[in-house]
Chains A and B, each alone.
Chain A
Amino acid sequence: MKKHLLSIDDLDADDIATLFTTAAEMHDLQHRQVKKLPALRGRTIINLFFEDSTRTRSSFEIAGKWLSADTINITGKGSSASKGESLRDTVMTIAAMGVDALVMRHGASGAAHQVSQWIDAAVINAGDGTHEHPSQALLDAYTLQRRLGTLEGRHVVVVGDLTHSRVFRSNVKCLAKLGAEVTVVAPPTLMPSGVAAWSAEAGFATAYDLDQVLPKADAVMMLRVQRERMSGGYFPSAREYTVGYGLTRDRLRLLGPDVPICHPGPMNRGLEIAADAADAAQSAVLDQVSAGVAIRMAILYHLLAGEGAAQ
């Protein structure tokens, strides 16, 4: 495995399989009364979050603590640019304190990639702008694999604001590596730019009509749609979005009863996902959250203590 986890591109199918095997062991740990392993004792992990996050930050924090690492959270709203300090100065300052891993969330695409070129510590991308969110994609695929047995040849439908989604960008890469067929669905205004030129090579199909795609889905992944996109003219109203692209009660009937429904959260109930779908027996939303801790333990373990990890 590479030193950093910046993008799903940093992993091959074997790496993903290794992470899933470890994650399964870690997952079992969650059901024990004493959840701590000594694997990362004496190691320091900084969660550096330039953007608000509840679930990802706490998930990484719990993962680090259960591996006995010292985890410290640093949150700073807004970009360092607005404070007059360069990003490089900010992370060099933190790295100089002697950290082993930097788990980083930043509102700018590519920020984790840039930081990995400046500091010695392992950098784990916990979401960079609208670029990637690799740990989310791994936990999504892990969850689906447990539900479906395998992702090979399975048809996964991803629906929502693709333009602004790092979850989409990481997920299509991860699912393609695991052999899934992927169709992404969005109105044309929320399709990423130039998608026709790169979707085939990246291994996914695109569609505008959700109702045509849903009956053929083995799994559905709904993405969050931010209401402020309406003011950007991406779609006319929440109501119209829901009618066209929401997983409504009616659309739930188009799905087989065993088709898992994923959502990375936080959910806009009533906009992209109806309460009936979010709370359905086939919903995998809470499984995703618990898998998140296990996957992040596996990532931290392999990057910091696994074979070939930088000591």
Chain B
Amino acid sequence: MSQPVSYPMTDTILIKGASLLGDQSADVLLVDGTIAEIGSLSHAGARVIDADGLVALPGLVDLHTHLREPGREDAETVLTGSQAAAIGGFTAVLAMANTSPVTDTAEAAERVHDLGRVAGLVDVHPVGAVTRGLGGEELAELGLMHRSRARVNVFSDDGRCVANARVMRRALEYVKAFGGVVSQHAQDPDLAGSTSCCHEGEISGRLGLPGWPGVAEEVIVARDVMLARHTGSRVHVAHASTAGTVEVLRWARSQGIAVTAEVTPHHLLLTTDLLGDYDPTYKVNPPLRPAEDVEALRAALADGTIDAVATDHAPHARHDKEHAFVDAAFGMLGLETALPVVATVMVESGQMSWADVARVMSTNPARIAGLDAQGGALEVGQPATLTLVDPATPLVVDRDQSVSMSRNNPWHGRTLGASVHATLLRGVPTVLEGKLQ
């Protein structure tokens, strides 16, 4: 992999010797954005990527990203967020609606969609707000967003919970008409109000920080599962963070209720014990939980109770984190480190195979979001949208090397057990040898 980079410009790429989903090794020929051939191949004139020792996965899909544009272009833009996504091995991201203005109209959705097209590094799919202005009261123009150029399928008031049961019920019913899904930020505002800044438990009790208990998530998940059953619609649980949520999800699945769920990389590894120094880098919503929750989330991801890993990449300008802990902004970076974290936590531990990683970071999220051009199998005829992972080269995280505009990186200084070598979007390399193209 130390081969000098001077590839000829061509529409034909030959990936030599990649381990497909961590299994058998093969050469993969990409022609005109499609997987043309798989086997033991040579092809004169093709641009060759030496993939010896690399694992090929379908391009990663992130169900949960904050790109901050429009409104907070000092924290991230669609372009810099796309760059971070590509570096992290992603080929599609869903951009959350809590921008300024909120993505609650067709026009706002098309603007984000078009900015993504211009950046051209990943497919940027705007998530539409469930309610106008994220106000929680009146439905946003869900149908018009769906019919727009942006083809919005996923709706979420993320950052806020759709707390009103009547509004949630109507949203679930309404999106049935076009197969949409509501992604719920499950946080009962009566049990976890605006000052709740961390997990409520021993650590918050000692530190004197206002906490929010796991039950504030669980009661909403339980309610929404019953609403999904009642309406016959689909609900998606964003950033599941507690063992109790896992229990509810497991029951819902046993009943055949249409519920899916995601977990973030940080909830798979980081715990509330990190709050001892009141470092707002670790302030995130839902909060970091105790080790028992982390264990339950890992097990649920491995056994399929949780469908997907989603980053909740949440860039913030430095000054928005340099407040007292309760006043600082919620959120942490995640796009560039998601796959290395999952490799460390789930693959190195033997809880998951690379095929499982493909399932939770590509196939399932693409299916949940209804993205036909993403999450395909590594088979002839599928889009040449894939990610090459180097499991032998750890990622040593240096926040100042990030292509994100922000530095709220909880992984700074850590060594993670794999790195992203290359990302290809419909046959076009967006990242090679870990560098943006």
Contacts and interface: CB of A to CB of B under 8 A. Distances in A.
The answer to whether A binds B is yes
A172 B320 CA distance: 34
B209 A198 contact: no
Nearest to A129: B208
Interface string A92-113: 0000000000000011111101
Given A109-B278, A110-B278, A113-B277, A194 B205 contact: yes
Interface stretch (B146-154, B322-330, B361-369): B322-330
A207 to B, nearest CB: 17
B323 A86 contact: yes
B208 A197 contact: no
Contact of B203 (A88, A107, A194): A194
B209 A109 contact: yes
Interface in B264-301: 277-279
B278 A192 contact: no
A194 B205 CA distance: 6
A85 to B, nearest CB: 8
A79 B324 CA distance: 9
B217 to A, nearest CB: 16
Query: Range of interface residues on chain A?
Result: 20 to 34
Interface in A113-172: 113-114, 128-132, 166, 169
Nearest to B320: A86
A80 interface: yes
A198 B200 CA distance: 14
A86 B207 CA distance: 22
Given A79-B324, A108-B324, A193-B202, A131 B207 contact: yes
B201 interface: yes
A34 interface: no
Contacts of A195: 205
B204 A110 contact: no
A86 B322 contact: yes
A78 to B, nearest CB: 10
A12 interface: no
Contacts of B325: 108-111, 114
Contacts of B206: 169, 192, 194, 198, 202
A192 B206 CA distance: 8
Contact of B205 (A79, A129, A193): A193
A87 interface: yes
A79 B213 CA distance: 25
A247 B204 CA distance: 29
Contacts of B323: 79-81, 86-88, 108
A297 B167 CA distance: 59
A81 B327 contact: yes
B324 A111 contact: yes
A215 B170 CA distance: 59
B207 A110 contact: yes
Given A130-B208, A132-B208, A108 B327 contact: yes
B43 interface: no
B78 to A, nearest CB: 26
Interface majority SS (helix, strand, loop, mixed), chain B: loop
A108 B283 CA distance: 14
A240 interface: no
Interface residues of B, number: 25
Interface in B177-219: 200-211, 213
B278 A113 contact: yes
A15 interface: no
A89 B204 CA distance: 26
Nearest to B280: A114
Interface in A175-229: 192-195, 197-198, 202
B322 A193 contact: no
A109 B207 contact: yes
A193 B327 CA distance: 20
Contacts of B278: 109-111, 113-114
Contacts of A111: 278, 324-325
A109 B208 contact: yes
A110 B202 contact: no
Interface-centre pick from A109, A132, A166, A198 (highest chain B CB count, 10 A) = A109
B51 to A, nearest CB: 45
B434 to A, nearest CB: 32
A195 B326 CA distance: 21
B327 A87 contact: yes
B275 to A, nearest CB: 9
Contacts of B208: 109-110, 128-132, 166, 169, 192
A87 to B, nearest CB: 5
Nearest to B206: A198
Interface string B322-345: 111111100000000000000000
A202 B206 CA distance: 10
Given A86-B322, A109-B207, A131-B207, A79 B327 contact: yes
Nearest to A92: B322
Given A89-B319, A193-B200, A193-B211, A110 B324 contact: yes
Nearest to A106: B324
Nearest to A115: B324
Nearest to A109: B208
B274 to A, nearest CB: 13
Nearest to A88: B322
A108 B195 CA distance: 10
B324 A81 contact: yes
B44 to A, nearest CB: 59
Contacts of B326: 108-109, 129
A166 B209 CA distance: 11
Contacts of B213: 193
A12 to B, nearest CB: 19
A81 to B, nearest CB: 4
B204 A87 contact: no
A197 B203 CA distance: 10
Instruction: Please list the 7 inter-chain residue pairs (A to B) with the smallest Cβ-Cβ separation, ordered nearest first.
Output: A110-B278, A108-B324, A194-B202, A131-B208, A130-B208, A192-B205, A88-B322
Given A108-B324, A109-B207, 12 more contacts: A79-B324, A86-B323, A89-B322, A106-B324, A108-B326, A110-B207, A110-B278, A113-B277, A114-B278, A114-B279, A128-B208, A193-B201
Interface of A: 79-81, 86-89, 106-111, 113-114, 128-132, 166, 169, 192-195, 197-198, 202
7 contacts: A81-B323, A88-B319, A108-B325, A113-B277, A114-B278, A114-B325, A129-B209
